[in-house]
Structure 1
């Protein structure tokens, strides 16, 4: 695979190129003038008709495209109606939508599977998880992070807003960086749908084990009586 473009981005560009009646290589080179390499689906999602028109018609432009074709090509670059796309759709989320929720990152190479290693997965699937609901709120490709001098630091930055990281494996030095970012790594050895792991975490939110209670910033239920006793001792002191 071309290391300057994700597989999903390549699929979208290929379909958009068909719409514009140009070659995928020509469209990729034109887009590379507007977006820093590597080209990812996240960057393509920021494309607009104006950006695409400039790429097509500016210096080194490759054709004069009809406005309707440009609009449809932009939708394809966004991933709308892309037949054969392996990526699941994001679900709407605004901060505060799910009170008491945690954010979970799952390392993935394909579809909505948890089948990736921290240092080599193609993207992180990001879920917002409460005791009653779980939403896939973001998909974060790792290709750009892998251009960094320290890719483990860059990959950690991608999930730094999360509370839990689910991976098939993670090395010691990488795990240390993740933990320092206040993200709790969880190993899931067997490839499986990411939502299976999300559901297991979800089921634990109402009665969390000590490690998950710490992630949630609450006192573990098993320690509540000890905490209460300590509070009483402080009051009596």
Structure 2
């Protein structure tokens, strides 16, 4: 299909929306938009676009995707979430801390925990321990190598982490994450990544569950003691 000229602002919106959807590039999304609202996709036309139209246009091309993902893509298309394309916060140098773990947060912009595992732009890597936390790395996802499984590529980016925070994750992807001995936790409501990290920091300071105590390097005897203490509280 030949596409009419699109303004730089609209092109950015489409690119960001496509990145927010698994296995979707701008060309695929443009085909859907062409059927839903016609071409060119102007600001006025995008303002009238609905999630239902995204699901049903082009014979349901995007109909199998999670409605929450489509809602996020729609926010980009309407220009409401372009600000979320902000760069991540600066990282700090990592230092050896007893019982520290690493947490990967799926993010699309700034310091937000707002990414689907299969489509997020980057992972924010936090070092977390009972007395503090620090952002030690940001890892852009990029494109997998030719023939490489997309989810396997993403797992490799966070293989040194013990916990994964995401807005959502599909079953097959979650199975790959768990196989890599990483514990995935979903937060559909999203929010600032640091809020979840602070909550985890408090858990580490109090009574970490046995699976988390194992990642902290606690011995089986210590994990049993923690489990008994938790049961008594």
TM-score, normalised on structure 1? 0.56
Moved more, 140-149 or 160-169: 140-149
Aligned residue in 2 for 1:170: 169
Q: How many residue pairs get matched?
A: 145
What displacement does 1:99 show? 1.6
1:146–1:198 CA distance, 2 compared to 1 (3 A):
farther
Asked if 1 retains the 8 angstrom alpha-carbon contact of 2:155 and 2:177, the reply is yes
Map 1:1-237 → 2, pairs under 5 A = 86-94=87-95, 96=96, 98-145=97-144, 149-206=148-205, 207-218=207-218, 219-220=223-224, 221-223=226-228
Q: Which SS does the other structure have where 1:202 is aligned?
A: helix
Residue by residue, what CA displacement relative to the aligned partner does 1:157-180 show, whole Å, maximum 9, x if unpaired?
000000100001111111111111
Q: Which runs of 5+ in 1 are unaligned?
A: 7-83, 227-237
1:171–1:225 CA distance, 2 compared to 1 (3 A):
closer
Residue by residue, what CA displacement relative to the aligned partner does 1:93-118 show, whole Å, maximum 9, x if unpaired?
14x1x221000000000000000010
What displacement does 1:133 show? 1.3
What displacement does 1:212 show? 2.0
Asked if 1 retains the 8 angstrom alpha-carbon contact of 2:99 and 2:217, the reply is no
Q: Which SS does the other structure have where 1:205 is aligned?
A: helix
TM-score, normalised on structure 2? 0.57
Aligned residue in 2 for 1:13: none
Q: Which SS does the other structure have where 1:145 is aligned?
A: coil
What displacement does 1:149 show? 2.5
Q: Which has the larger radius of gyration?
A: 1
What displacement does 1:145 show? 3.3
Q: Which SS does the other structure have where 1:155 is aligned?
A: helix
In 2, the alpha carbon distance for the partners of 1:99 and 1:225 equals 21
What displacement does 1:85 show? 5.3
Pairwise CA RMSD of aligned residues? Answer: 2.6
In 2, the alpha carbon distance for the partners of 1:119 and 1:146 equals 15
In 2, the alpha carbon distance for the partners of 1:127 and 1:165 equals 10
Residue by residue, what CA displacement relative to the aligned partner does 1:178-227 show, whole Å, maximum 9, x if unpaired?
1111110011111200001101110011311233223324315124799x
Asked if 1 retains the 8 angstrom alpha-carbon contact of 2:86 and 2:109, the reply is no
Aligned residue in 2 for 1:12: none
Q: Which SS does the other structure have where 1:112 is aligned?
A: coil
Q: Which runs of 5+ in 2 are unaligned?
A: 1-11, 20-84
Asked if 1 retains the 8 angstrom alpha-carbon contact of 2:124 and 2:135, the reply is yes
